[in-house]
Structure 1
Amino acid sequence: MANLLEQIQKQQKNGTLFYAEQSMSVNDLVEKALKIRQRHPQLRGKKVALTDRHLVDFLVSLIAFDGFCSAMYLCASNVTIPLVDGLQVWPLNGQDVSNSQMLPLVSNTRWYLATSGTTGEPKWFAHTLISLTAETKHSARLQKLCWALMYQACRFAGLQVVLQALLSGADLVDATGGEPLSQLALMQKNKVTAVSATPSLWRQLLMTKQLPDLALSHITLGGEIVDQTLLDQLARLFPQAKVRHIYASTEAGVGFVVSDGKAGFPLSWLHNSELPLALKISSEHHLLVKPNKQAKVPSNITTDELGFMDTQDKVQVVADRVVFLGRATGAINVGGNKVYPEKVEQVLLTIADVSQARVYAKNNPLMGQLVVADIVLFDNSELAKLDIASMRRQVTHMCKNQLQRFEIPTKITVVEHMAHNVNGKLNRQ
């Protein structure tokens, strides 16, 4: 397979990157990448760490080093550069051409991505351009798209957007910074037609009431559980758009894509050999996955005797659907009963006035933990005149109809906003 630079050069039409009130053609990015190869032949065949810097510099580095270096470690600003023998940190602080002997070009550069590290020291997992672009599509219609980048480019979800734009010839708008209103203003200015974001980020955009001003034809969700309420909202606002939710992870890469407008995935997929991943459910009701024959589970991931890895995602079969309940590692222990915050949040989000919800544990001397929740309303201007008691009764009534008693929040707090981490996910710390 051709490296990233060669694949971009084969495009009949290359897109434009829009960033910080400026723009640059992808062809110019390629020219900059070629100059890096010429000026730094000593990096050929070596390992490099790419620090999270300006997006232009980061993209140029990706283009320059795929197929040129043996490995690239993509380091976000909050990730410590790993201690790897022979690792060169890019940029090289002014160092230029070396007279050292050049190694051969690399046919399959390893792209190392770090997990978020929210539950401990980040772990590194290797991918290749082939595995990272397993779901990348190419067509004349896709060349006309303009993608908004809502994630850090060095993270798995961000790379998916970047590579889709670069390899399809589409335009790309850097919308990673700022508040939702400024992000939407930037998208409107550059006529964005495709957005990939977490459900939490989509809810923030919906709260601005300006999302319908975009002419979106491609909508992608991932990184968190996608609930039916949000899918229905986006489908109503953009009836002509293609709405997809993607199950993926830094460890395993892209798993599968659901595009039928329903939360979860079809039960029949547990026996579908055509998917990128083989799927099954464990005795603990965890989703287990195994890559197809063309891919391998990374060596630092534990698997069962058949090669399946435990995603730690708790699932439930409902009729002909497999739905996600939450992370097994994030359960709240209420008197010995496990409560999955994401499951409770999905119920809260079905309430018409609730835009965002966060469910978490509160320590209790008798029960061990209790379930409590914060909610954000669609219209914060209503907060001052809100009948809190009435809202709580409405929430409790909804929960009683859909949850077991120990799952019902014992306290509901109405807040003005929710905190999110660098990956666009709800901050549960």
Structure 2
Amino acid sequence: MSGSLLALMERHPGDSPALKYRQTATAPLVTVSYRQLQQLALAKRRQAANLQQQAVNIRYRDIADFICSLLAYDGFCSALYLLPDHNVAPAGMLFIASETMTDQRLPVDSRWYLATSGTTGTPKWIGHSLQQLTKTVSTRASGNTLCWGLVYQPFRFAGLQVVLQSLISGACLIDASDGDIEQRFDTLVEGNVTALSATPSLWRQFLFSGKATALQLQQLTLGGEIADQPLLNRLSQLYPTAQLRHIYASTEAGVAFAVNDGKAGFPRDYLEQGYYDLQFKVDAKHHLWLKNSALFGPELATRVDAAGFLDTEDLVELTPERVLFLGRASGVINVGGNKVHPEQVEQVVLQVPGVAACRVYGKSSSILGQLVMAELVAEPDTVPEELIGRVKAHCQQQLQRHQIPFKIQVVAALPLAGSGKQVRIV
């Protein structure tokens, strides 16, 4: 997909609603049309005309300001850094100035930079072109009838994907990226959202709220974490006519591939046949490696081999028909020299009826190095002691001895990071 983001939007009817959002937590939804977004973006570009061909950071007051900044500076500035609000700008970056000048619409091949991490240390900046970011965006005519819900922070890769999908397809975007889970869900319902992308952890919270049936979803997307079979089955039953897919993507690799068959993992055939322009391989350590037609940037040089494959650092298991994700290589729990993948244990625990959510982590042990610990969120009207007993019995049947949680605790809720992913204890 070529052209600037602003140019791609110009084909949509100007009066069509592009965005609905709350200016404060308790305010009603405000509607912004495509024409209004374009006008605001051009005004913003004129005010910062001295930054043409320069690098800029994108900070924002609200989602409307964020989108207007993307429209204004893509194709105009050389680089766009989508900054988490608690990060500092990279050295040498220019801040947006306000000098009124004439609008010079000279095309620029902008580079979009996203931070891989903003929680600890200095974030790693990964650059993408707009074409790379939108290579899986659907432009089908029916796409403009959808109403997308945004539950991710927009400066993160997953959130940006939702924003771009909505804008380029001509759909309407409902911003539910702030507030507690009840506030966000109420916003989705009030906005009549029909398409929603969220992490498996967020989906579980929506289901746990008991209000999921209030949404009339036509398209469901899962990403950012392992999509386990019980969750896929439950969503299929709740929304039987909706398109259900889970996406493997990362800030480093960009959007990689989507799976639409309702099964966990992805078909093993991909290892031999590939997926469009994507090639796969699995090494002796069970790391998944990817290679696509676009070259990976210099930021990833240490993780790219001589053949151009990128080490995703995700661990997988090969079965006769599927490639199943086990978790991150860096997240392994070491129990007496035996490696335990917390996500794998979580998937087993989540098979037990009455378990709404689960977190598995390692706790230091002077004897074994680490012990496997588990926290559960119970479904309503579930007796915690009985649930713990069922989980223990199921784990003893499905897991090896070193994988079985040493201690299981029922908690009221599990915290989610700003990315929508479960907070990992390390």
User: How do residues 191-230 of structure 1 correspond to structure 2 at under 5 angstroms?
Assistant: 191-230=192-231
- Corresponding position: 1:239 with 2:240: yes
Q: Residue in 1 aligned with 2:79? A: 71
Q: Match for 1:18: what amino acid?
A: K
Q: Residue in 2 aligned with 1:54? A: 62
Q: Match for 1:56: what amino acid?
A: A
Using the TM superposition, give the Cα deviation of residue 78 of structure 1 relative to its aligned residue in structure 2, in angstroms: 2.4
Q: Match for 2:90: what amino acid?
A: P
Could you tell me which of 18, 22, 46 is aligned with 1:38? 46
Could you tell me which of 405, 410, 416 is aligned with 1:414? 410
Residues 69 and 109 of structure 1 are in contact (CA less than 8 Å); yes or no, is this contact kept in structure 2?
yes
Q: Residue in 2 aligned with 1:403? A: 399
The percent of aligned pairs where both chains have the same amino acid is: 44
Distance of 1:387 and 1:192 partners within structure 2 = 34
Q: What stretches of structure 2 of length at least 5 have no aligned partner? A: 23-27
Q: Residue in 1 aligned with 2:115? A: 114
CA shift in 2, pair 1:7/1:60, >3 Å:
same
What TM-score do the two structures reach when normalised by structure 2? 0.94
CA shift in 2, pair 1:103/1:191, >3 Å:
closer
Q: Match for 1:97: what amino acid?
A: T
Distance of 1:214 and 1:104 partners within structure 2 = 42
Using the TM superposition, give the Cα deviation of residue 27 of structure 1 relative to its aligned residue in structure 2, in angstroms: 1.5
Using the TM superposition, give the Cα deviation of residue 34 of structure 1 relative to its aligned residue in structure 2, in angstroms: 1.0
In terms of mean alpha carbon deviation, does 15-24 or 311-320 score higher? 15-24
Distance of 1:201 and 1:79 partners within structure 2 = 24
Q: Match for 2:415: what amino acid?
A: A
Q: Match for 1:11: what amino acid?
A: H
Residues 54 and 78 of structure 2 are in contact (CA less than 8 Å); yes or no, is this contact kept in structure 1?
yes
Residues 198 and 224 of structure 1 are in contact (CA less than 8 Å); yes or no, is this contact kept in structure 2?
yes
What TM-score do the two structures reach when normalised by structure 1? 0.93
- Corresponding position: 1:165 with 2:129: no
- Corresponding position: 1:428 with 2:412: no
Distance of 1:202 and 1:387 partners within structure 2 = 22
Question: What secondary structure is seen at the aligned counterpart in 2 of 1:7?
Answer: helix
Residues 52 and 76 of structure 1 are in contact (CA less than 8 Å); yes or no, is this contact kept in structure 2?
no
Question: What secondary structure is seen at the aligned counterpart in 1 of 2:298?
Answer: coil
Using the TM superposition, give the Cα deviation of residue 344 of structure 1 relative to its aligned residue in structure 2, in angstroms: 0.3
CA displacement, residues 291-324 of structure 1 (integer Å, 9 cap, x when unaligned): 12xx111112121121111111110012210000
Question: What secondary structure is seen at the aligned counterpart in 2 of 1:89?
Answer: coil
Distance of 2:321 and 2:354 partners within structure 1 = 30
Q: Residue in 2 aligned with 1:306? A: 307
Q: Give the number of aligned pairs.
A: 415
Distance of 2:4 and 2:61 partners within structure 1 = 23
Residues 371 and 405 of structure 2 are in contact (CA less than 8 Å); yes or no, is this contact kept in structure 1?
yes
Using the TM superposition, give the Cα deviation of residue 274 of structure 1 relative to its aligned residue in structure 2, in angstroms: 4.2
Residues 15 and 166 of structure 1 are in contact (CA less than 8 Å); yes or no, is this contact kept in structure 2?
no
User: How do residues 266-281 of structure 1 correspond to structure 2 at under 5 angstroms?
Assistant: 266-281=267-282
Distance of 1:96 and 1:371 partners within structure 2 = 58
In terms of mean alpha carbon deviation, does 143-152 or 37-46 score higher? 37-46
Q: Residue in 2 aligned with 1:296? A: 295
Q: Match for 1:247: what amino acid?
A: Y
Q: Residue in 2 aligned with 1:375? A: 376
CA displacement, residues 392-424 of structure 1 (integer Å, 9 cap, x when unaligned): 221111112211100000100000000011000
Distance of 1:270 and 1:183 partners within structure 2 = 39
Q: Residue in 2 aligned with 1:363? A: 364
Using the TM superposition, give the Cα deviation of residue 52 of structure 1 relative to its aligned residue in structure 2, in angstroms: 4.3
Q: Match for 1:40: what amino acid?
A: A
Residues 53 and 108 of structure 2 are in contact (CA less than 8 Å); yes or no, is this contact kept in structure 1?
no
Residues 52 and 154 of structure 1 are in contact (CA less than 8 Å); yes or no, is this contact kept in structure 2?
no
Question: What secondary structure is seen at the aligned counterpart in 2 of 1:151?
Answer: coil
In terms of mean alpha carbon deviation, does 205-214 or 179-188 score higher? 179-188
Distance of 2:146 and 2:62 partners within structure 1 = 23
Distance of 2:121 and 2:278 partners within structure 1 = 27
CA displacement, residues 358-393 of structure 1 (integer Å, 9 cap, x when unaligned): 0001111100100000000121x54xxx251x3222
Residues 223 and 247 of structure 2 are in contact (CA less than 8 Å); yes or no, is this contact kept in structure 1?
yes
Q: Match for 2:176: what amino acid?
A: A
